[in-house]
A and B are shown apart, each in its own frame.
Chain A
Amino acid sequence: EEIVSSFNQQLTLERVVMDKSGFELFAAHLVKELSLENILYLVEYMQLKHFISIHQSHLLQYGDVQAIGYRVDICPSILIANLDPRLLQMNIPASLLWQITLDMFDYLYSRYILDSSMVRLNISFDSSVSIRQAMSQLRQYSSLDVLPSLITAFDAATTDVLRLLRGDSFLRFQKSPEGIAYSKDFM
């Protein structure tokens, strides 16, 4: 009991989302609390980063892998299994790759960032302005040059979301019956 309790106290968000059952339990907890948008954003943004990383030779200038920015390690069976397999094919033409990337950013922007979004994120003004600026820059100059600033802007929102989850929902998950059951199973 003590070991489980101690393990539970040491649990981190990163550790839970890396594991399939941990991810599912945490997502179920967020559904109950009506804050699923936070983890959905993380998954969809990390899917986009996965897409960029697979096609980095076409999408990243000078092969600068650092430009992909920060990645949350989400369980691959959640992240990749839910990504359209056609996006993982290696024979996609470069121009189409870029168009798909833009569409994915557009999707994230309209779904999570815009004031009118149904599942708008609880992020700071700073983050949403950075994203708005990057998106408007993109509409003016649609070239690979803007990719790093787009990623940087969305990374700022990711930091906000992670902080919110760590400081609020995750703490409740930890002490919930699901969090304790997860700790027991993990042990």
Chain B
Amino acid sequence: MGGCMSDSQDTTDRNVEREIEKDKKQDTRAHKLLLLGAGGSGKSTFFKQLKAIHGEGHNDREKEGFKRQIHGQVVESIQLLIRQCKTVTKDPLPGIKDEDDEPFGNDDLDDARLSNSLKVEMTETEIAQFKIAKEFDQSCQYLLEIHGSRSALTEQLVTHVKSLWNECPAIQAMFEHRNKIGIPDSSAFFFNDIERIGRSDYTPDHKDIVLARYRTTGMTEKEFHIKDAVFKVLDVGGQRNERKKWIHFFDGVTAVLFVVSLTCYDEVPFEDVTDLAADVTLMNSMLESIKVFEDTLDFECFQKTGFILFFNKADLMQEKIKRVPITNAFPNYKGPQEFKPSVDYISKYFLSLNRVPEREMLLRFFFEYVLFVNYW
């Protein structure tokens, strides 16, 4: 075998071997850090923060990508709000021309979605608050017809979003239930700033970039040089199907950075989002995070691996705790409905899941867009 290989093939093979050797050496000196956590916990946001602070920042090309993500988030969020309002009130979706990939206009699917609404047990008065007035029909129709690749914020689109967000009480009422219907908190920030982000010369700033929310699929990695150390950080998707892929990255891990959203104790996981009937005490992203954390700790290969638990969105938790107690996810919690005791309870609960006392466990807290503020 190989006797018929040409000299150029030989040279190519040697070059490839040299590259592999070089990569191996680099891999050996780099500390491999694995970012894990349930879907929506903020792994990719953490990754973006790292890049902004310890990497080379975000160049124009990347900012253009974030701009598309932000525009996509605005369009998807407003579409979801409209669809949920229509579902709850059993109001047929406005006549949508099925001109490209949006299946929302199809009657069969709408019927299936509307039939899901039968689970919602609300009084007529409660339902009425989600009724979108006729005057917004045109805006609803326009927005529901938008195709993903056409989600750049045109002037007309901005006008429709602004009108629904600022003038339609049903949309605002539905947004109050965003925890159940999978709408990110940060969508309000983008809706409020729709004129700025809709300008043709708009470039996302640091805050916009950090607040942009998008699901991650697969894995992406990046090397960071901090002082004399090299860190190779791997960011992965957190939804259930994505977690099946994690095992492929477990070899040679220096530490696991496990990210938990502190506000997710009343949020329905993406894979379970249906409608307002969702019972957040039965299934919420905090329960999901706990299960994922337990499963991760149990992996044989991680028995001696250090874990850093990152509790994310502490600033948002400070607001949420005033309205929603953590008993949704921690029914045994008997403390006051206040930030510090609640967070203490959550962090101790997570630490108690570690059954290997010699395994190093560190706690860190960070805020939505202020990095690494030590809570202790």
Which residues of A line the B interface, CB within 8 A? Answer: 5, 8-9, 12-14, 30, 33-35, 38, 66, 69-70, 72, 115, 117-118, 120-122, 124-126, 128-130, 133, 148-149, 152-153, 155-156, 158-159, 162-169, 171-172, 174-175
- Chain B residues 45 to 68 lying within 8 A of chain A, measured CB to CB, are 61-62, 64-65, 68
**Minimum-distance CB pairs A-B, first 3:** A35-B218, A33-B218, A171-B65
Complex Cα–Cα for A124 and B84 (A):
14
Q: In the assembled complex, which residues on chain A have CB atoms less than 8 Å from the CB atom of B101? A: 70, 72, 155, 158-159, 162
Are A122 and B239 closer than 8 Å at their CB atoms? yes
18 example contacts (A-B, Cβ-Cβ < 8 A) are as follows A33-B220, A66-B98, A70-B100, A118-B244, A122-B215, A122-B237, A124-B270, A124-B271, A126-B113, A128-B271, A149-B109, A152-B103, A152-B109, A158-B103, A164-B217, A167-B69, A168-B215, A172-B65
Nearest-CB residue, chain A, relative to B216 = A168
Q: Is B315 an interface residue (CB 8 A)?
A: no
Given known contacts A34-B245, A158-B101, A159-B148, is B106 in contact with A169 (CB within 8 Å)?
A: no
Chief secondary structure at chain A's binding surface: helix
Question: Among A115, A118, A121, A159, which residue has the most Cβ atoms of chain B within 10 A?
Answer: A159
B322 within 8 A of A: no
Q: By the criterion of a CB under 8 Å from any partner CB, how many residues of chain B are at the interface?
A: 42
Q: Tell me the interface secondary structure of chain B in the complex.
A: helix
Q: Which residues of B contact A162 (CB under 8 A)?
A: 101, 148
Interface string of B268-300 (1 = CB under 8 A from A): 001111100000000000000000000000000
Say yes or no for B200: interface residue by CB 8 A criterion: no
B residues in contact with A122, CB < 8 Å: 215, 217, 237, 239, 241-242
User: Total A-B residue pairs with C-beta atoms closer than 8 Å?
Assistant: 121
Complex Cα distance A78/B238, Å?
31
User: A120: nearest residue on chain B (CB-CB)?
Assistant: B241
Using a CB–CB distance below 8 Å, which chain B residues touch chain A? 61-62, 64-65, 68-69, 72, 76, 98, 100-103, 106, 108-109, 112-113, 116, 148-149, 182, 214-220, 237, 239-242, 244-245, 248, 270-274
Give the distance to chain B from A7, nearest Cβ to Cβ, in Å.
12
Cα-based distance from A93 to B165 in the complex (angstroms): 55
Is B215 within 8 A of A152, CB to CB?
A: no
A163-B245 in contact (CB<8A): no
- For residue B178, give the distance in angstroms from its CB to the closest CB of chain A: 15
Complex: A159 Cα to B237 Cα, angstroms: 18
| Contacting residue for A125 out of B98, B103, B214, B273, CB 8 A | B273
Residues of B within 8 A of A38 (CB): 217
User: Are B69 and A171 in contact, with the CB atoms below 8 A?
Assistant: yes
Known: A8-B61, A129-B116. A155 touches B103 (CB 8 A): yes
- Do the beta carbons of A133 and B103 come within 8 Å of each other? no
Q: A163: which of B76, B100, B239, B244 is its contact (CB, 8 Å)?
A: B76
Which residues of B are found within 8 Å of A120, using beta-carbon distances? Answer: 240-241, 244
Give the shortest distance, in Å, between A11 (CB) and chain B (any CB): 11
Asked, given contacts A126-B274, A159-B148, whether A121 binds B241 with beta carbons under 8 Å apart, the answer is yes
In the bound assembly, the distance between CA atoms of A121 and B102 in angstroms comes to: 18
Q: Nearest-CB distance from B184 to chain A (Å)?
A: 12
CB neighbours (8 Å) of A130 from chain B are: 109, 112-113
> Do A126 and B273 form a contact, CB below 8 Å, given A163-B148, A167-B68, A167-B69?
yes
A70, B103: Cβ atoms under 8 Å?
Answer: yes
Give the Cβ gap from A81 to chain B, nearest Cβ, in Å.
Answer: 24
Residue of A nearest to B44 (CB): A168
